[in-house]
Amino acid sequence: MVSQSNFSRPGAIDLSALRKPAGAPAGAPAAGGSAGGSAAGSYVLNVSEPTFQSDVIERSLQVPVVVEFWSPRAPGSAELGQVLSKLSTEYAGKFVLARIDIDANPQLAQAVGVQSVPLVIAVLRGQVVPLFQGPLGEAEARQYLDQLLTVAVANGVTGRAEPVGAPAEAPASEEEDAPNPRYAKAEDAVGAGDLEGAIAAYEELIKETPNDAEAKSGLARVQLWKRTQEAPADVRTRAADNPGDIEAQMLVADVDLMGGHVEDAFSRLITVIQTTAGDERNTVRLHLLELFEVVGAEDERVGKARRRLMAALF
C-alpha cells in the first residue's frame, strides 16, 4: 500500500528533472484523446512529454497527481483507465489523473523505470509515491487512492483541483461535486499547516452537526497527522520493550496507519484490547474507532477489523 516514507525517502525518483523541452508552451494540450475507450472525466489529462512539467510536476505541488502509464497493446489498460477516470470524477478534484501512453512517450516511461503496464504511481511535490501495477477493480483502486490522500495531507498537499477537461456530468452534477464551503475553514487551516486550528474547526462542525461523517473523518485525519508529527523516534522500541505501555502501542499503530500499513495498525490495537481491561481497554477501543474513521467505513479492512474487535470484546 501507499507509504508515507516513500515520499521523502533517500533515492526517491525526482521528476523535477523532467523539464519541458525549450519552446514547448506550458499547459499545451496533450496529444490525443482519451485512450483505450475510456471516457475522460473532468479531472483527467492525457499527458505527453512537452506537457509533463506543467500537467504533472507543477500540479503536484498543490494536489496529488495520479499517473497511469498505459499502452493500447497492454491487456487491462483500457479497463483500468475507465475505473480511474470514473473515480477521478467521483473524488471531485482531490486528485488529478494523468494518463501517459508509453508508446508515444518512451522518455517518460524510461525516466520512471516502467517495465510493464498498466502501472500507476502518484506524484506529490515532484516526488514519486508508488501505488500499484496491473489492472485493479474499483474497490481496490479506491483503497489505494484513500491511502494516497492520507499521505498527501500528512505532507501538506491539501489542494483541490479545478476541472481540467470536458465536464463528465451535467451542470447539476458539477454543482453537487463542488467543494462544500462548510469545510473551507478546516481545510484552509490544514493547508496552512495549522493543525490546532483545523482540529478546532472540525470540532465546531461536529458540535453543530454531531452526525457529520465528513467532519468526523477530517478531524480523525488531522489528529492522526498531529500525533505522528510529535511521535518520539524511539516509540517503536518502547512499544516492543513494554507491551503494557498502551500509549506507545497506540502511537505505533498511528505511525503504521500513516505509512499505509492499515492491517498492522488494526491488529496491534486489537491485540492490546485482548490483553487489557477496564479504562485501558476502553481507551484503546476508542483509539481504534478513530482510526476506523480515518480509513473509512466502506473499506473492507475496517469491516474485518470491526468483526475482530467485537470478538475481542465479547
What single string gives the DSSP state of each residue in 217-252? HHHHHHHHHHHHHT--TTHHHHHHH-TT-HHHHHHH
Q: How confident is the model at residue 267 (pLDDT cuts 50, 70, 90)?
A: very high
Q: How confident is the model at residue 284 (pLDDT cuts 50, 70, 90)?
A: very high
Q: What is the number of other CB atoms lying within 10 angstroms of the CB of residue 246?
A: 21
What single string gives the DSSP state of each residue in 165-177? SS-SS-HHHHHHH
| CA-to-CA dists, residue 85 to 35, 37, 168, angstroms | 11, 11, 10
Cell numbers describing residue 232? 518520539
Q: Residue 212, SS3? A: coil
What single string gives the DSSP state of each residue in 250-296? HHHHHHHHHTT-HHHHHHHHHHHHHT--HHHHHHHHHHHHHHHHHH-
Q: What is the number of other CB atoms lying within 10 angstroms of the CB of residue 291?
A: 21
Q: With beta carbons less than 8 A apart as the criterion, state whether 127 and 155 touch.
A: no
Range 113-117 contact pairs with CB under 8 angstroms and sequence separation of 24 or more: 113/13, 114/69, 116/74, 117/69, 117/70, 117/71, 117/74, 117/77
Check residues 307 and 41 and name the one with the higher pLDDT: 307
Percent of the chain with pLDDT over 70: 82
User: What is the mean predicted confidence (pLDDT) over 261-268?
Assistant: 91
Return the pLDDT at 2: 57
Q: What is the number of other CB atoms lying within 10 angstroms of the CB of residue 156?
A: 15
Q: Residue 51, SS3? A: helix
Q: With beta carbons less than 8 A apart as the criterion, state whether 59 and 96 touch.
A: yes
| CA-to-CA dists, residue 11 to 5, 6, 192, angstroms | 11, 9, 28
Which uninterrupted H or E stretch holds 188?
Answer: helix 184-191
Return phi, psi of residue 242, to 5°: -135, 80
At 118-169, the pLDDT tens digits run 999 999 988 888 899 888 889 889 989 988 888 888 777 888 888 875 444 4
At 57-84, the pLDDT tens digits run 989 988 999 999 998 888 788 899 999 9
Cell numbers describing residue 75? 491487456
Question: Which neighbouring-strand residues pair with 120?
Answer: 68, 132
Cell numbers describing residue 98? 494523468
pLDDT of residue 234 exceeding 50, the answer is: yes
Averaged confidence pLDDT in the chain? 80
Return the beta strands (E) in 112-183 as ranges.
Answer: 119-124, 127-133
| Rounded Cα–Cα distance for residues 137 and 140 (Å) | 6
Q: Do the strands 96-101 and 65-70 form a parallel or antiparallel pair, or are they unpaired?
A: parallel
User: What is the mean predicted confidence (pLDDT) over 185-213?
Assistant: 87
**pTM of the predicted protein model:** 0.50
